Structures are given as C-alpha cells and as structure tokens.
Structure 1
Amino acid sequence: MDLITVNPANAFDNILYRQVLDSQQCEKQLTFLSSNALATLFVDASGKIPNGIMSGNLIDYGDYHQCLGINNSINGMMIAGKHCTLKIPFLQNDLSLFNISSNDSSITSFIRSLVSGVNLLQEYKTLLNTTFLGEPALTVGICIPKVCSVSQVAEYITKGLGVSVNDSQVRVSSFCRLPQDKPSSVYDYISMCWLSIILLLTLLATCYDLFTQYKSTSGNTLITSFSLTKNVQRIFAFKKSNNYIECIDGIRALSMLWVILGHTYVGIFLLPLHNVVGILEWVQCSMSCLINAASLSVDTFLLLSGLFCIYSIPNNVTSERYVASLHLFYLHRLIRIMPLLASVVLLQSTVFHWISDGPHWTVMGNAVETCRVRWWSTLLQIQNYVKPVEICLPQSWYLSMDTQLVFISPVISYWLLGTKLKAICALILALSLTLSSVIISSYTNNYPANILNPMRMSEYKKYFEDYYINTVTRATPFVVGMTCGYMIRTLRMRPADHTYTVSKPILFLLWILSLTCLSLSTVMLHLAMSSTRNDQSLDNFINAFVRPAWATAVGFIIFACSQGYGGLINKFLSLPLWKVPSRISYSVFLIHFPVLMTDMSSATKSVYFSNIAMLYKSVAYITISIILGFILTVVIDGPFSSLQGLLFKGEMNGDRKNRQNIEKVSEWKKKIK
C-alpha cells in the first residue's frame, strides 16, 4: 500500500500561515475596519457572486494582487491583506442550516435566493459533478486581514448581520495566500546546483571549442560535447543518408504540434471557466473534430517507436549477436531519455513554481508537489501503473508506456532477425495477442471512446487508468510499427540488382484506403462526443479497432514514402522545414505542459472559452515550447546524446577488439596443431 500522498498545500508555507494568526489583533482590526474607509479596499478586492452561473461560471476570485498589496500602519496596527479562496459545495442547499434572525428582509431574501437558485444548475449536474472537475462548488475569493482566520471573520460578519449559521453542517473549504508564501525546499537547492553545473559546463566547453577553432586545431571530443556552437550546428546540419526515412521528420513534427494543440484545449479544464456549458456545445460541433481526435497522435508516436526498434538494427546483426548486445540496447534507451526527463522533472518541481502567482496557483502547487512526491515513479518508468492519477508531468505517462514496450520488444525482434517464416509467425502472433487483448478489454468494460467526453466524465478515471495509459491495451500500434520497420529493413537489405515495383492501380487503391482510414478515424472519434448518441457499440469499435487502423494507415504512408511511392506527400513531409522541430520534439514534448500549466495557473479571474482564444493560446504555447525545447536540446539533450555516442563507440570498439583477439587466438591454436 502506498502511504505517500500528494498534498498541494505543502508547496506553500503553512508555517507562515499559522504564525501570522492572532485572534486578539484580528478582533481589534475588524472593529477598526468596520468604521474606517480602509475597509473598502478589502471589500473591493473580494469576490462577489459570479455572473453567468447558468452558463457554468461558479468562480469570482476578486482582485488577488490588490488584496496582497494592502499594507498599512494605522493606530499602531499593521493591517495587511490576505487572500482566501472559499469553496462552498452546492449539495448543502438546505435552508434549515441557516437560522435567519435578521430584521432586514433584503438579507433574508438574498440568502434564500442564493441558496435556492443553485437548484437551477441540476440540469448540468452530469457535466459539473465529475471526478475530473470535482464536486460543483461556488468559489469566491475574499480579502481579510492577515492576522484573521476565515472562521473568525465569518463569525464577526454574521453576528453583525444577525445571521447565525450551523457550522457543524455547513461544508466550506478555504485556502489562504500571503505574499512570499513559497518556501525554499531541498529541491530548489538541487535544481540550482544542477542548472549551475550545466551552464558552467556549457560555458567552458563553448569557450574551449571557440578557442580550438580559432587555433585551427582539433579539440577534445568529450569536452566539446557540451559546446553550444557544436550542438547548435548539429541541430541545423541537414546531411542526407541513404538509410534515413525523410518523411518521418514531418510526421513526428506534425504529431508533436497536434499534441500541444490537443493539450491546450484539454487544459482548459485547468482554468477557472466562465462558460463550462458552452464547452459541451463546442465539443459537438464540426470545429472541434481535430481536437477530439488529437489522442491519435499518441498512436503515431507508438508506431514510430516500434518501427525504429527493428529498423535501427544494422543489417549484419544476427539473432545471437542481438541477444549478446541487449545490455547496450537497454542502456541506450535509458541514457537517451533519462537526463532530459530528470531535468524537466526538476524544473517542474522548482523553477516553474516561482515564475508566476495568482489565486489559481494552487493548480501549479499541485503539479509541483506531485513531482516532489512522485518523481521516482517517473524516472523508473512505472507511473502509468503506480498512482496514475498523480503523475508528475501529466504527459509523461507516454514515456513510461513506450519504455515498457521498448523493453519487451526484443522478444519479437529476436525472431524478426531470423528466417522469414519465423519473422512472419512472430508478427502474426504479436498482432493477434495485442489486438485480442484490446478487443476483449473494450467490449467487456464498455469504455467511452474519448478521454474527455463531457457526457461521460464520471467514467474518466476508469477509462484513463484501465485503457488509455495501459500498456497492454495500447500496444497494437507499437507492434504495427515493428511490422512496418521489419518490411522496410528487409527491403533495405536486398541486393542492389533485386528491384520490385508496385502497379499503379494497386498503389492508388492503397493510398485511397490509407487516407480514407485516417479521415474516418478522425471523424469517428469526433462522433463519439455526441450527447444525443446512446449506442455503446461505436465506442467499443473505436477503442478496439480505430487506433490500430490509424497506425496501419500511417505505417503505409511511411512505407510508401521510403520506397519512392510517396509523391507530393513525401515531398511535403520531407521538407527541411520539419527537421529542426523533429530533432527537438522530445524536449518540446516534455516542456510544453509545464509551459501550458504556468499560464493557466496564473489566471486571476474566470476565463471565457472561445475557439479563437484557444487558437491564440495554442500558437503562444507552441512558440514558447519550441524556444525552450531548443534550449534544452542544446544544453542537455544534445550533450548527453554526444556522450552516449562516445560511450557506445568505445563499447563497440571494445567488442571489435575482443573479436579480433579471439580470432588471433584461434589462428595461433591452429598453427600450434
């Protein structure tokens, strides 16, 4: 049993919150403010009853920064502001909780209308009362003196109004913020040291590299691995290789852009929303088709991962030699992903926490604390099975699933390096097992077909844990990728005088089928969001067959382009335009969600959802993520990739020397005989 839990409040200074409380000073300051104009600052900075409640706007934070900016010394009292966010669940709509004793009929009428008006939201209960969005609650920010607690202020105000409340039955949660309430942690010091080391190495290596260039001498390769100039040049060096599949650059880059676009729209649920009901209407219109199908980009990346597992194996490697070098295969994978992943986890745990602030910053606080508690499951690549709803870097579950598939891929790859019969049998068996597992899971559990279907949000947790991030149910595209990689690798190994051609009618038919499959997959995921459809069979069909079909269609495009049958599509996907985004895609993938979360956590008031506003946000997030991804690639990913190359070069040289020594010993023994 996992006893470690994530408490977002730990990201803030709870000791400071307790130290500033003083009940006597609070009573004194409240009495003073009740007859002083300074009280208008507190009232003005506090939230009011939100407008647009029937549209789903349940939040009014007030003016967070104005509240924390209050700092006045009057009559020997230091009166400073503290912003508190109150959450009042709607389920307590019983007027018997309120003992209304006020003679002011307007107060009585106001309380009754507020409480009873909540019942009008029952029409949208399915949308609002979900595991993902939490229990529907009115969220209001209030500004109070920092020496006061919320309960003490509430008691003071209700007494003045002549209204008493049964505290034992009313459910109200609160969280208060003060200026400079983010304490430094051990993670901050680790992050500072790590970043300082990286920057120092980059600076020294760059100076060394520039000096060697000035002297026209060859520098030490190990040192220049961290050179800024070398790594920038490496990103922009477009050297053609006969064995490189150029179209993959375009596919990878476009898929990465699709991921960010999809996360921008999904991330809207991280915002304090003004028109939640409007989102329900938008997801069912044709404009949302690409967004609803954005999760297919995951299957594209799984396809590419499976393809490279087999395609990257050199032609002269046999099954026995492959098994003998498995330790290098696993080591290569870990060294490839770990330095950058660990660095971004560290950034999320520390640096991003200090970038901004606001009344909604508890969302970032939750992300920060999750990384501080769950970093180990992220680095061990098991977070899709260990507390999957508490994931450090929400998008990095894909890395865990992909790594798990890569680690078990040698079971298939071994047979693919043998005879054709063994290879075909291995692929058929792997495809049958993975496809049957997802079919059984889909038709047995009746999952929704989309991760954020507003009409089935109560099933989000089950669908997310048991299907969406489950390696078993998502493995088919990976195996399809291995099949595609095997076919391309086999053709790569054929003698130069052995050529083959595909007739134009068959090629045309395959292209039509592939493009039709891609289009239908996108449309079907969009149709699954309809609120008027009650047929579960479409969801089951999508979960069981659409993702493998999508991977098969993309796999055909890669195969056709690699064999010279891509035409204009190959030319488009092979444009130099895609090379740089493709090379930094791993960094962009890791950094884009912290970028997105930083902006959305900085919200100071409810945000009105509109398609054009989200498109502008998407462009901003893509731009910033590409810039930061480029920097991370240059200073972390690039240098460690170079070090990895040097390491494996030494390993391979060592293996080559061992083989030469064995051959010499064998020849010497023969001579002795």
Structure 2
Amino acid sequence: MKILIFLFIIAITLQICVCAKNLKFLKTFKKWNNDYTCFDDIRKLLQANRFDEMLDSWSNFTQMYHFGNSIDFGEFDKCLNFKHEKIQPQYCLIQYQYKKSLNRKIISVPPKKTPLNKNWNHLDNRFGGAICIPSSCRVQNVKDIMKEVFNGSDFVQTNDYDQTEFCEQTEINPKIDSFLIVSAACLLIIIIFVIVGTFITHVPSVSFYIKFFQCFSMKRNFKSLMTFPDNVSQISCLNGIKAISTIGIFFMHSNLFRMVFPFKDGYKLSVLTKIKYSDFVISLLILMDTFLIVSGMLVARTLIRSEKISLWKFYFQRYMRLTSLVFVLICYAAINIFVFQMFPKPYFHLEHMMNDCKIYGWTTMLHIQTFVNPMSMCIPHAWYVSVLFQLIIIAPLIHLALKKQKDFVKILCYGIIILIGLLLRLIIFIPRKTYFDSETGVVIEMNNEIVAYTYFTPFIRVISFFSGVLLAHILEQDNKNNLFSNDKINKFILKCGFYISIIAIVTYIFVYPLEKKLTIMYGIVWIIATNFVIFVCCKGQGGIVNNFLSMKLWMPISKMGLTIYLTSPFFQGLLIITKTQPWISLEAFDIIIGFLCDAAIASLPVIFIYISIECSFTNLGKLLTNTGTKIDVKK
C-alpha cells in the first residue's frame, strides 16, 4: 500500500513539474505589437550592436546549397536565452527553395537512398531553416525580412507555407467550457473510486457495493500484475511476442515524435529530414499486425473454450476494457489542452485535439471513428482500439463458421481461400488517388483517402486478425487429433520452417521494401511467419527462441501492452514539447538513450494507469456480467 501511494505521489509530482516548467517558460514571451514596433526593436538592437547575438542563432543558409532537401533549426537555445532590457526574442521556422530558373540537377542526391529521402527531388528543392527576431514581429514582418535576406541570391520563399503556426506567439486566456468541466468531473469520480477501493481492499466482500469499489483497488490490481501463474492452458510464448511488439511500438513512437518536432506534417518532415535509421523506425509499424494476430488468437481461444457463448457478456467485457482507457485519456487530454492553451503555438501541439474531441469524442467512444472521421480523430493512435473492437464484433461469426468444420483440411482450405480473397480486395480496390515514383514505386503523395483506407480501416487489418483466429482453430484440431506427430520428419520440417520464419521477420524490419508489390508481399510473409513461430512454439519445438519468448519477465509488459500503447504517446509528447532544443538528426547511441529516457519516465505513469484504470474496469466488466473476478476468491 505504501509503495502504491509513493508511486502515485511521484507520478503526480512529475506531471506538476512538467506544467510548472511550461508556466515558467511562458513568462519569457510577450504579446504581439504592430509592425512599427517590430522594426523599431530591430533598429534598437542594431544601434546597440546586440543584433549579432540573434544572428548567431540563425540557420546557416549557405550550407544548404550542398545537401539537397534538408532542414536546419539553428541555435534554438541561443535565441530564446537572448537577454535584453525590453526586447524579447522570437524563434521562427521558415521554408525556402531555389528559383525556378535554376537547374535542379546542381543539387546532390543524399548518399543513402532510403524510402524517405528518395523523394527529395519531388519537393521543388525545398529547405527548412530558422531565424531569431524580436517577438514584436508579425508573420508578414518575417516574410518581409526574409525577402530582404534572399534579395540577390538564388533562393526565394515558398508561397504555400503557412508561417502562422511556427512564428506567431500569443498569450491565450484559457477557456473553461462544459467539455472541460465534464472531463474533470469524470476523472475526479474515478480517482475517488480508486482511493476508496484501495483503502477497503481487505474488507470482506459481503455486498455488491463493496465488490464494486474493490474492483478499483490498486493494491489488488498491482498484486495481480506482478503475479506469474504457471497456467498449463496458457501459451507462454505469446507473452514474449506481445511484449517485444509493445516495446517496438514504443520505440517507434519515441523516435517519430522527435522526427516531427515541431511540425504537424510528419510525412513532409520525414522526407525533408535525412534520418539515418528512418527506414528501420518506419518498418516497425508492422508490429501492429502482430498485436492483431495475438488478439485474434486469444479471442478465438476464449470462444473455443466456452461451452455456451453469451454474446452480450462477450462484447460488454471487451468494450469495458478497451473503452474505459480511451475515455480516461480523452478526459486527460481535455485537461492538458486547457493547460497548454496558455502556451505559444510552437509548443502547443495538442491544439487540434480540443475541437476534435468536442465534435468526435462520441465516435471514439463508440469505436466508429475510423468510418466517421478517420482524418480528424480525437486520439489519433486510438485507431487501433476502434479497429480491434470492430474485428471483435465479427469474431464470433468467423468462429462459428470454422467450428462447424470438423476436418482440419477443410478448415485450412477455407482459411486460405478467405485470406486470398482479402488480399485480392486489398490489391484491386485500393484507392488510385495516390502518386508513385515510376522508377522506385515509392509513394510521393499520401492523400487522406489512401491513408484512411490503408491505415485506419479494418478491411486491411482483418487479414492479421483472421489469421490469428484460424491459428487458434488449427491448434485446437491438433490437440484433439494429433495432426502433427512428433516423429523426426515432422520435427525437422517444423524447425526448418521456424528458422526461415525468424529470418523473414528480421529481414522485413531491417530491409524496408521500396516497391508497392513487395510491401504487400512482405506484409503477407510477416503474418504467415509470425503465425508459424507461434505454432512451432506451441508444439514445443522452438528451442532457445521459445525459451526466450516464454520468460516470465515478459508477462507484466504483455499485460500492460494496451496501456503502454495508448498512454505512452501522451507522455512522450509532453517530454518533447518541453524540450528547448529540437532533436532531429540522431545517431544509434542517441536513439537508444532517448528511448531509455522515455521508457524510464513513462514507466511509473503507465503502471499507475494500468492498475487504476484498465485492470479496474476489466474487473468491473466481469463483476457486472457475473462471470466472477479475483475479488470473489477471498472473503
């Protein structure tokens, strides 16, 4: 109990420190004045021979001439630390390009041709930079200043680049509305439930109300998290697969957040920025398919082992587990957005979430946001939860169709036919409004339609989910009929296929495909290889790999997989926006150190959210459906 209270105090203290740091940082900025004030401040700095200090923090524009599309943020700290009696500094991002009359071939291609920087020549040779000017200057002043800077040079400013998001700094009075009040009230009620439930942990469960509050007991939930039961029916290797996938997704989010700082358009920035390991980071998106394979398999095993299926209980329990966490994050986001309304726009990355949560919050709660508003989500990375719940809805239908087939060959044939049909649907009906490079096949422009179709809808992800359901039925048939005997030939075949699958998985991560056809093929190979690895481990033929995946240290991370996936981007975002120096070009050592720092800081809040929210509402769902919880064991 004391440990839980201590962890809670640390988590709250970290959040207060983040807010306090930003409140202190806010005082360094002033309101905008008119154009005269801007140029008058520049004149004063020039007369005082202090303007050189600001110029030293500008981007080195001349070096861009040799590197193709790239970005240089200049000396961020030096600009904001500039001291003057009355004039405050302002840090602005700009975008410029070569004049149309110049020969574009004079710019050298980046030496490493990754899927990202192969697009360098399709962006009109654009460059990014930064300038440091007085805070009294408006957006139009910035354009006028840069026009004079580029006068007589080979550069011009880009006309379609909105400077407002990255230059204008204003003090905004936070607005208290009904959305904020309701969100704060809901969080307060949940906190009260958690506190009461924790204090009555050892009270005998003699009534429904005591059981209700005990569902929120952090002490009991933490004990459940750290318990490692030896369950014969449990597929232990799934813990390692799910835990490693969770760590990989966390690693991807950690680096993608640094890639997009301080831009909102992450795709363009990833093209402009030559990240050494960008192809490796992007390829980790495939781990979402591993999540769905494991989820499909576990859902199918639950249905197979249930003698009588109650659909409303089946759906309600899973809705409670998935939605409760999303609901709390919406409330948390509303409060954070209220706080960050006070900050200048370059540090306010959650601005769009306020309106999206007000308008589309109900679609997020009903898990239909991928159909209603795929490009304006309240919590963008919650698309996985929506897709997963949509696939869970159809899981009983798939289960019943496979359950009627007693013959293993028929089950396998039906599964292959359905997978081929889904693959053909992906290839034939994929939207054509996208642009590919004729030589490499790399996507040049990702419009909303193609992103919504290939990333946010269940039509694509159902292949992974269905393969997990099919694998569960194959394992069940094998347990009943011993389809794969343990003779030497079968063992040899299983081991050969197992190691080939491991090689295929590693190859995909480190060799990101450039061709569209290869991308689709790699996705199918990944699904088949992952399923084969799980199957071989279940047969006890995985050897050292199976022992590694079955280690008990993976179990807590596996249990908290959903919480880590949903909550970690919030804490990573807070860490990024409170940094005073953008972190763009990363070496291998920097990537690892940044990941470990993010993991260390996010660990306590993630554990707290899991034992107070996800685990609590999972217990509550079981209690309300009378399926029993661990609370009933000890009275």
State the TM-score, normalizing by the size of structure 2. Answer: 0.76
The within-5 A match list for 1:368-407 is 371=357, 374-407=360-393
Counterpart-to-counterpart distance in 2, 1:565 and 1:171: 59
Check conservation: 1:581, 1:626, Cα contact below 8 A: no
> In the TM superposition, what is the alpha-carbon distance from 1:26 to its structure 2 partner?
5.0
Which one of the candidate residues 72, 78, 86 is aligned to 1:59?
72
Q: Which residue identity does 1:330 align to in structure 2? A: Y
Identify which of 502, 520, 523 aligns with 2:504. 520
> 1:329 is matched with which residue: 305, 314, 322?
314
Paired residues of 2:218 and 2:611 also in contact (CA < 8 A): yes
Name the CA shift for 1:24/1:53 in 2 (closer, same or farther; >3 Å). Answer: closer
Alignment partners' CA distance in 1, 2:243 and 2:397: 30
CA distance in 2, matches of 1:593, 1:575: 27
User: Would the aligned equivalents of 2:80 and 2:91 in 1 still touch at CA under 8 Å?
Assistant: no
| AA in 2 matched with 1:592 | S
CA deviation map 1:225-267 (0-9, x unaligned): 2222111111112223332222211111111112222334444
Contact 2:563 2:610 in 1 (8 A): yes
Give the 3-state SS of the residue equivalent to 2:298 in structure 1. helix
**CA distance in structure 2 between the aligned counterparts of 1:467 and 1:172, rounded to whole angstroms:** 27
Residue 420 of structure 1 corresponds to: 406
Matched, 1:570 2:546: yes
In the alignment, structure 1 residue 198 sits paired with structure 2 residue 182: no
Paired with 1:160 and 1:418, the residues of 2 have a C-alpha distance of: 75
Following the alignment from structure 1 to structure 2, what is the Cα–Cα distance between the partners of residues 170 and 551?
45
- The answer to whether the 8 Å contact 1:250/1:579 transfers is yes
| Structure 2 CA distance for partners of 1:463 and 1:623, relative to 1, 3 Å | farther
Q: How does 1:29-48 map to 2 (within 5 A)?
A: 29=41, 32-36=44-48
Distance 1:357 1:614, change over 3 A: farther
**Aligned residue number for residue 99 of structure 1:** none
Give matches, 1:44-443, under 5 Å.
49=61, 51=63, 54-55=66-67, 56-60=69-73, 62-63=75-76, 67=80, 72=85, 79-81=86-88, 83=90, 85-90=92-97, 93=99, 120-121=106-107, 123=109, 127-128=119-120, 136-146=126-136, 148-152=137-141, 173-175=162-164, 176-178=167-169, 181=172, 183-186=174-177, 188-209=180-201, 212=203, 220-271=210-261, 279=274, 282=277, 288=280, 291=281, 293-313=283-303, 315=305, 317=307, 321-322=308-309, 325-351=310-336, 354=339, 360-366=346-352, 371=357, 374-421=360-407, 425=410, 428-439=413-424, 441-442=426-427
Q: Structure 1 unaligned segments of length 5 or more: list them.
A: 1-16, 73-78, 96-115, 531-535, 653-673
Structure 1 residues 19 and 520 mapped into 2: Cα distance closer, same or farther (>3 Å)?
Answer: closer
The aligned amino acid for 1:435 is: I
Secondary structure, counterpart of 2:299 in structure 1: helix
* Partner residue in 2 for 1:543: 520
8 Å CA contact 1:253–1:585 kept in 2: the answer is yes
1:475 to 442, 462, 469: 462
Deviation for aligned residue 1:418: 3.3
Q: CA deviation at 1:481?
A: 0.8
Counterpart Cα distance in 2 of 1:69 and 1:189: 39
Secondary structure at 1:90's aligned position in 2?
Answer: strand
Given that 1:306 and 1:478 are in contact with CA atoms closer than 8 Å, whether structure 2 keeps it comes out as: yes
TM-superposed CA distance for 1:219, in Å, is 9.7
Distance change (3 Å), C-alpha of 1:431 and 1:63: same
Residue 28 of structure 1 deviates from its aligned partner by 5.5
Tell me the CA shift for residue 589 of structure 1: 0.8
Deviation at 1:209, TM superposition (A): 2.5
1:509 is matched by which residue type in structure 2?
Answer: I
Judge which range, 609-618 or 519-528, deviates more: 519-528
Which residue of structure 2 aligns with residue 666 of structure 1? none
**CA contact 1:477–1:552 (8 Å) conserved in 2:** no
Conserved? CA contact 1:299–1:551, under 8 Å: yes
**Range that drifts further, 233-242 or 118-127:** 118-127
Distance in 2 (CA, whole Å) between partners of 1:556 and 1:345 is 38
Does residue 495 of structure 2 align to residue 508 of structure 1?
no
167-176 vs 478-487, which deviates more?
167-176
Partner of 1:660: none
Residue in 1 that maps onto 2:532: 556
Aligned partners of 2:283 and 2:509 also within 8 Å? yes
User: Closer, same or farther in 2 for the Cα pair 1:59/1:199, shift >3 Å?
Assistant: same
Q: Give the percent of matched residue pairs that are identical in Structure 1 and Structure 2.
A: 16
User: What is the SS of the residue equivalent to 2:553?
Assistant: helix
Distance 1:524 1:89 in 2: 36
Measured after TM superposition, the shift of residue 644 of structure 1 is 0.9
Q: What's the counterpart of residue 615 of structure 2?
A: 638
* Displacement of 1:403: 1.9
- Pairing of 1:662-673 with structure 2 (within 5 A): none
The alignment of Structure 1 onto Structure 2 pairs a total of residues equal to 579
**CA deviation profile, 1:406-459 (whole Å, cap 9, x unmatched):** 1112221123343515x86566445423323324533786999x9xx9982414
Q: Tell me the amino acid that sits aligned with residue 434 of structure 1.
A: L
Q: Does the residue aligned with 1:239 lie in a helix, a strand or coil? A: coil
Give the drift of 1:295: 3.0
Specify the code of the residue in structure 1 equivalent to 2:73: D
State the one-letter code of the partner of 1:83. Q
1:345 CA displacement = 3.3
| Distance of 1:358 and 1:509 partners within structure 2 | 61
How many angstroms apart in 1 are the aligned matches of 2:151 and 2:488?
86
Instruction: Sort the Cα spacing of 1:300 and 1:407 in 2 relative to 1 into closer, same or farther, 3 A.
Output: same
Structure 1 pair 20/473, CA: closer, same or farther in 2 (3 Å)? closer
Specify the alignment match of 2:625 in structure 1.
648
Unaligned runs of 5+ in 2: 1-28, 111-116, 264-268, 630-635
The answer to whether the 8 Å contact 1:405/1:471 transfers is yes
Q: Distance in 1 between matches of 2:277 and 2:540?
A: 41
Counterpart of 1:313 in 2: which secondary structure?
helix
Verify the 8 A CA contact 2:498 2:542 in the aligned structure 1.
Answer: no
Larger Rg: 1
- Please state how far the C-alpha of 1:151 moved relative to its aligned partner: 2.8
Cα offset, 1:580, TM superposition: 0.8
**Is the Cα contact below 8 Å between 1:127 and 1:455 reproduced in 2?**
no
**1:88 counterpart SS class:** strand
Give, in whole Å, the separation in 2 of the partners of 1:152 and 1:402. Answer: 49
Deviations 1:257-308 (A, max 9, x none): 1222233444453146999788476567xxx4xx464233222211112112
Deviations 1:475-523 (A, max 9, x none): 222222111112334466x59xx99842132123112113202312442
Q: Could you state the TM-score of these two structures normalised by the residue count of structure 1?
A: 0.72
- Describe the shift of the 1:571–1:529 C-alpha distance in structure 2 as closer, same or farther (beyond 3 A): closer
| Structure-to-structure mapping, 1:448-459, within 5 angstroms | 456-459=442-445
Work out the CA distance in 1 between the residues paired with 2:483 and 2:426. 43
Tell me how far 1:121 sits from its aligned partner: 4.3
Q: Where do residues 552-631 of structure 1 align in structure 2 (5 Å cutoff)?
A: 552-601=528-577, 602=579, 604-605=581-582, 607-631=584-608
Give the alignment's Cα RMSD to 1 decimal: 4.7
Specify whether residues 560 and 518 from structure 1 end up closer, same or farther in structure 2 by C-alpha distance, changes over 3 A only. Answer: closer
Residue 442 of structure 2 aligns to a residue whose secondary structure is helix
Q: Alpha carbons of 1:162 and 1:437: their partners in 2 closer, same or farther (altered >3 Å)?
A: closer
| 1:58 aligned partner, one-letter code | I
Q: Against the structure 1 CA distance between its residues 430 and 361, is the aligned structure 2 distance closer, same or farther, given a 3 Å change threshold?
A: farther
Q: 1:352 to 1:435 in 2, by over 3 A?
A: farther
Deviations 1:146-184 (A, max 9, x none): 3x4243576589899999xxx999666423354754735
Return the offset for 1:221: 1.9
Between the aligned partners of 1:393 and 1:621, the Cα distance in structure 2 is 20
8 Å contact kept, 2:79–2:89 = no
Question: Could you say what secondary structure the match of 1:220 adopts?
Answer: helix
